[in-house]
Amino acid sequence: MASPRQVVVLWATALLAAATLFFSGHASLGVNWGTITYHRLPPKTVARLLHDNGIKRVKLFDVDPYTMETLSNTGIQVMIAVNNLLLASMTNYATAKAWVNANVTHYRTHSKVNIKYVAVGNEPFLKDYKDRFTNVTLPALKNIQKALDEAGLGEEIKATIPINADIYYSPWYNPVPSAGKWRDDVAGLMSDIVKYYNQTGAPFTVNIYPFFSLYIDPNFPADFAFFDGKAKPVVDGDFVYTNVFDANYDTLLAALKSEGCGDVPIIVGEVGWPTDGDIHANVSIADRFYKGITQKIANKTGTPQRPKEDIEVYLFGLFDEEAKSILPGPFERSWGIFSTDGKPKFPVDLSGGGVAGKAAVAAVEVNYLAKKWCVFNTEAKQAKNESRVRANMDYACGHGADCMPLSYGSSCSGMDLEMQASYVFNSYFQALGQGTGTCVFDGLAKETTKDYSRGSCKFEIGIKAYNPSEVEAPAPAPVVQDEDSLAKVHGEHDHGNNEASEGRRRSMWKVGSVIMAFVLAGFLLD
Catalytic residues: 123, 270
Largest CA distance in the chain: 73
Residues with Cβ within 8 Å of residue 446, at least 6 apart in sequence: 374, 375, 376, 377, 380, 439
Q: Say if CB 204 and CB 264 are below 8 A apart.
A: yes
DSSP state of 148: H
d(CA 349, CA 357): 8
Q: Say if CB 331 and CB 404 are below 8 A apart.
A: yes
d(CA 170, CA 179): 5
Sign of the dihedral defined by the CA atoms of residues 492, 496, 498, 501, in that order: negative
Sequential DSSP letters for 22-50? HTTS--SEEEEE----SSPPPHHHHHHHH
* CA 466 vs CA 11, 57, 143, 240, 433: distances in Å: 17, 24, 36, 50, 11
| In 330-475, beta strands by DSSP E | 373-376, 445-448
Q: What size, in residues, is the chain?
A: 526
The DSSP bridge pattern shows strands 306-307 and 302-303 to be: antiparallel
